Amino acid sequence: MPSHFKQEIILGLDVIDKDHKEIFKRTDTLLTMCENDRYDQTIKDTASFLSKYVIRHFQTEEHLAKEHRWPLYVELFSEHEHFKKELADIIDKISKQGIDKKLMLHMNVMLVDWWVGHINNIDRELVDFLKTKIK
Ligand SMILES: [Fe+2]
Ligand SMILES: [Fe+2]
């Protein structure tokens, strides 16, 4: 199983790091299933579980950002909304047309590259800010 989670994306706030690890674990599972052409109900279930988990994680971050009046809340929120749309689109494509090379490439870009970029940028800034607020 490929492991897309790297140590350097540990940000230092447990409640957020635990979610990120879990999201990468589930993403790895989903991508491995797709690579193996296991196109069946399990893929749909895994994708929809990932989506629910991601949405809950976004709510956690947004709640913390709002509670502590983080100035970049709007940017965080709009990045999350963008990803939610992308993920819903991926899940829709999986259930309507199955997995092909193009979708697989798109999934890698969105589920791995986008995530790593998001975590290393805006999430990292959020966590650095929260560390000054939460002791
Ligand atoms: Fe985030
Ligand atoms: Fe996050």
Q: Residue 39 has what pLDDT?
A: 65
- Tell me: the pLDDT tens digits for 61-117? 999 999 999 999 999 999 999 999 999 999 999 888 888 889 989 998 999 999 999
The DSSP secondary-structure symbol of 99 reads: -
Residue listed under structure tokens 């296991």: 38
With DSSP H G I counted as helix, E B as strand and the rest as coil, what are the percentages for the chain, rounded to 5? Answer: 80, 0, 20
Hey, what amino acid is at 95? S
Pick the CATH number of 4-133 from 3.40.640.10, 1.20.120.50, 3.40.50.460, 3.40.50.970: 1.20.120.50
Residue 1's pLDDT band (boundaries 50, 70, 90)?
A: very low
- Tell me: the pLDDT tens digits for 7-66? 778 999 999 999 999 999 999 988 888 888 666 778 888 888 999 999 999 999 999 999
- Which residues are placed with Cβ below 5 angstroms of ligand 2, an ion? 123
Q: Residue 3 has what pLDDT?
A: 72
Question: For residue 16, what are the contacts with CB-CB under 8 A and spacing of at least 6?
Answer: 57, 60, 61, 123, 126, 127
CA of 61 to the centre of ligand 1 (A): 6
CA of 99 to the centre of ligand 2 (A): 26
Q: Residue 130 has what pLDDT?
A: 97
